[in-house]
Structure 1
């Protein structure tokens, strides 16, 4: 420790292993099984069930009866960190450092009259769960635990929406979001007697708005545009960071900025049986400029320098019979992390979605939906210096499977 001094600021460099296999950065885009089955292509305007509440409140004016959708998506990532090296020499490859995560959701839409509709929803927009092995954390004289460790960050979104059809073609929608965030972070120097260099566990609440519009050219062609406001999340809790001069200092709060999200979608019924749909999504990851811990000695910041990112998706839906509908899609999801800003604990890179799904009409008013997505990401090189004397390098790659199931019913 005397030779390799690590200040609280240096610890914060490795403070957040933000990763969610279903989207770039740590964004969650798996809001429904139908979306999983079409790579989220057209999600802001298709409105084939109540889950459209997660993407565009304006589109709920398409329903003329009560709608309920509930389901869950299982995100099963496989993240491998290979060719790892440090100032002290090579480190063993790490397999499957990310966690399998269940992402539930529920949506309800109530038409008030021919023009006005309201809706309630519960889902998640951001989340991550990763944990490096003791073998890794104990490597490089125990200093690898500063770039590995454990991270779990989740947001829960409760969304109330209202939409009004201004004309036969144009609808506007507005939503209010109550967001709960929970976080747990551990960084340590490993070895026979591990030393916790950073620990924090906390939670907090925040509010934000979302808005959207939908324009229906006719029954077969429509467009949607939506916007979700970024929020500042303050998680109060307890933690400790080790300062090179002051020793252990108490942490009381973690602050991070969640980004704005905008999406444009189109839907075109090109024949009685076949429809094409697409989306372009923009996420303002440049708002995620830093992570801040409040301590007894003042704020401890970690600057990220991420950039805005785009996601492009196109898909198709084919009606096989009155009972069965099939869908598929492909998407390109760009990473918001510039090459020079990559860190080992954030295995995020450009990725491609390959998706397929089916719906089965189990009754006149009820249906079951199933979706499957395979995500393939680019293998990227990472160089991560903690200070002038200690640095790590590696290659990271993540593939993932997402399984979705959903029940939808009209009343």
Structure 2
């Protein structure tokens, strides 16, 4: 896995079981469906196609989970960032409610796959905690609770005292407990998803970037450095890390850098005082923070920013200060691992379904919610290809991909803004 996995995949690379054996594509081959991208969406689509007896070939440019699937914090969330009531306002009543229903149940789809295929990915199903920073944060969570509960979701707004007991810190005014959600080791999960797809009959080629896609008399021919696959259908599942054909998928998203630090395994007494229920957490700040525990008792703490150049020093110093404020019981904080990646943000913070040409489709733009949405969207694409649903039945409308306005400037602004916030943040 390249570049240096200590900076791109960190703790996940050192603690995940090995990926299934795969090889570079060499020579010409045929498949009913070719899937470009070996993350959650691509491997889920391959798994669900193979289970239906449809031949599926995945082409991954690097290694399984090289992109966002192997770098995120591992929160298996329900829904998206936007308020539940906002989805019907943006997408219309039909698509909005379909998407809410699909994504509300998405964590359970992940948990079922993990259990069915016995994937060793540190699964925790105790829920997540969205933590309120100040009165404004609490008001936001009150709205979220009301909107989800009206749809029957098992969410509950905890008091300040209940939140302190759940987290082991009195830093928050309250927290929204979502019992649908949980945490996993994300790289281990995507590797297990790929292994499940192979077990069901799919083919996966790594180190096989798609260099070109062209329509031929035999179907769509996807060329790689040393071979090609010809298929009736192409699924583009490269999301924020897209390069090559239909790179507009990347360009319609603004990259938001996000980093994580992992402490050394905590002592038993300290471990018992922090997240005793093992929920995953994030807060309501604009430059948000997230934290969770792994199986070995490492505290994983992350926020917006890139661990490169001056950002590496600034963000690491901030992380130590912020953790000390949250959890004084940690004492002298030592980090065992650090890594970062890019979140692809769309202009309305919602995913996209694109039909790039007849027989070329894709869903992308998860806005930092890739695990559960990617899994169920891969399944949805498989159902579409299998003829079990039509485009009119999808949870998203068909839209054209358009480059995000002022994208390079926004990306620079996010990193500069994160450095500024963290340079001054959490100081005594």
- For Structure 1 versus Structure 2, the TM-score category normalised by the shorter chain is under 0.3
| TM-score, structure 1 normalization | 0.23
The structure where helix makes up a greater share of residues is 2
Q: Which has the larger radius of gyration?
A: 1
| TM-score, structure 2 normalization | 0.22
Higher relative contact order (CA 8 A, sep 6+): 2
The structure where strand makes up a greater share of residues is 1
